Amino acid sequence: MRRTLAALALAAAVLGAVLVGRALLFRPAEPSPPPETSFEADEGRAATHLAEAIRFPTVAHEDPERFDAEAFAAFREWLALKYPSAHEALEREVVSDASLLYTWSGRDPSLSPLVLMGHMDVVPVDPGTESEWTHGPFEGVVADGFVWGRGALDDKVSVVAIMEAVEALVGEGFTPARTVHLAFGHDEEVGGLNGARLVAEALEERGMGRAALVVDEGGVLAQGLMPGVEEPVALVGVAEKGFLSLALSVRSEGGHSSMPPRETAISILARAITRLEEQPFPSRLDGPARWMLEAVGPRMSFPARLGLANLWLLEPLVLRGLNAGPSTAAMVRTTTAPTMIDAGVKENVLPIQARAVVNFRILPGETRDSVTTHVREIVSDPRVEITPASPFATDPSPVSDPEGPGFRLVAAAARQAVRDPGLPVAPYLVVGGTDSRYYADRAESVLRFVPVLIRPDDLSRVHGTDERVATRDVATAVRFFHALIQGSDTL
């Protein structure tokens, strides 16, 4: 017995030493230094232009009847006024009445093009919350080191930064080796079906072929979002989750509330939703989520490094920790979110019908069909009808190579833009969706990144109250796109 205990103790000591040793050797990779540049963005000019852009209420509404064509037309004219050199050097066309496609012809037409994306539309402001903003959502104010207003982060900062960079490059006499397309959608916030989708189809119809690289929004400079990592980390989206909304509907006979049956339409529906929440999709740590943790893990606190350096043994514990928080759980599983419910017409009338919408963000490796099948199995009630809630739905995107030339170019441009050759750059799974989905099969690499700094208290500002971006981050974004376009010759 003593020998057995001694052997077990020795094995535990050896295992502990292995785990600790691997954690101590878990160190950041040495980044390649970015090329030097003398370019300096005009922070004041870029911030002022972004503030002016915000003043155009280019709101995307689910109801197409509410589309404000005049606001988008005025914004297009403003772009032409503010960026005359770019408009002289690039060909501009309006697609689907409101989206913009610019073409900057390259010196070598045999090279696959670069596509830089952004979107001009913004989400509405919740009625009645306008007074809660420090500055009005469409006032476009520069104050206290920030540009304030709807679209500051999502996503007029991309449109303005790209145009600032192109204007500067044209002024420098630069002509790209490969053709550069600027694709600015007008309906990204409602799925991009009439904007980015048609722009991508137009490029395909005219023989663009596969783009060498597509860069859109989605990744950011994150600070304070990972345990033990105080420095900013560039999270570059190499993939994005799919999108599916399912409607769960129940019909019953109705009647007077004084004589209720054992189950009503509402209670049947409620139980179905509860089953879905209590039996979430399985979690797994692979692909972009694993790559991100492997890249950032060496900079985390020692307990986190201990787990991440020893996933071969401790992966279940790491997954349990990731599933404890909404933002990290979204990285490792298909999420389930009841978002809408409708039932009843009067307090003393049993509803004839109850309907709920449940939204799913689909992890790479799963599909809309597999998610629907899973939902039917979990609900397992023939009284609950399950149907698509809207025509818009997508499978997860393909995953771009985090070691390919496109990723290396974005990483170098990010380090150059923030003036930090040691900036950690990590692959990332975008848990939302972007217009880049329409280029998934039309490009060698699709990446999602804009170098604006996001801290924990900024997360609620995206689509929320007091959306803002630091003026220095606007200048950083201009430097990023300037470097990206210049460096695209090397792809």
Domain residue spans in the chain?
Answer: 43-238+396-490, 241-388
Helix axes 265-278, 368-379, angle to 10 degrees: 120
Q: Reduce the DSSP state of residue 241 to 3 states and report it.
A: coil
pLDDT in the model for residue 145: 98
pLDDT in the model for residue 9: 53
Architecture of domain 241-388: 2-Layer Sandwich (3.30)
Given a contact cutoff of 8 angstroms between Cβ atoms, the answer to whether 210 and 113 are in contact is no
Q: Reduce the DSSP state of residue 464 to 3 states and report it.
A: coil
Four-residue CA torsion sign, 269, 272, 274, 276: negative
3-state secondary structure labels for all residues of 73-128: HHHHHHHHHHCHHHHHHCEEEEECCCEEEEEECCCCCCCCCEEEEEECCECCCCCC
**Strand residues in 230-286 grouped as ranges (E):** 233-240, 242-251, 255-256
Q: For residue 185, what are the β-bridge partners?
A: 119
Provide Rg for the chain, Cα atoms. Answer: 25
pLDDT in the model for residue 365: 95
Q: What burial class does residue 187 get, using C-beta atoms within 10 Å of its C-beta: 0-12 exposed, 13-18 middle, 19+ buried?
A: buried
pLDDT in the model for residue 20: 54
d(Cα 489, Cα 483) in Å, to the nearest integer?
11
Structure tokens at 420: 């930090």
Closest CA to 481 of 176, 211, 210, 238: 176
Phi and psi, residue 479, nearest 5°: -60, -35
Euclidean distance between the first and final Cα of the chain, in Å?
65
Architecture of domain 43-238+396-490: 3-Layer(aba) Sandwich (3.40)
Catalytic option among 121, 164, 189, 216: 121
- Residue 216 is a catalytic residue: no
Question: pLDDT by residue for the chain (491 residues), tens digit each?
Answer: 666 655 555 555 555 555 555 655 657 676 666 666 779 999 999 999 999 999 999 999 989 999 999 999 999 999 999 999 999 999 999 999 999 999 999 999 999 999 999 999 999 999 999 999 999 999 999 999 999 999 999 999 999 999 999 999 999 999 999 999 999 999 999 999 999 999 999 999 988 889 999 999 999 999 998 878 889 999 999 999 999 999 999 999 888 999 999 999 999 999 999 999 999 999 999 999 999 999 998 888 888 888 788 888 888 999 999 999 898 899 999 999 999 999 999 999 999 999 999 999 999 999 999 999 999 999 999 999 999 999 899 999 999 999 999 999 999 999 999 999 999 999 999 999 999 999 999 999 999 999 999 999 999 999 999 999 999 999 999 999 999 999 999 89
Structure tokens at 280: 């979430």
Q: Look-up: residue for tokens 């490059």?
A: 169
Structure tokens at 30: 């040495």
d(Cα 132, Cα 148) in Å, to the nearest integer?
13
Four-residue CA torsion sign, 225, 228, 230, 233: negative
- Residue 121 is a catalytic residue: yes
CA angle (64, 388, 218) in 5-degree steps: 65
Q: Is the pTM of this model over 0.85?
A: yes
167 to each of 38, 213, 271, 481, how far by Cα in Å? 16, 21, 57, 11
pLDDT in the model for residue 363: 97
**Strand residues in 378-451 grouped as ranges (E):** 385-388, 425-430, 446-448
Residue type, 30: E
Structure tokens at 187: 């309906």
Catalytic option among 188, 189, 217, 467: 188
pLDDT in the model for residue 300: 83
pLDDT in the model for residue 25: 60
Structure tokens at 359: 């939204």
Phi and psi, residue 200, nearest 5°: -65, -40
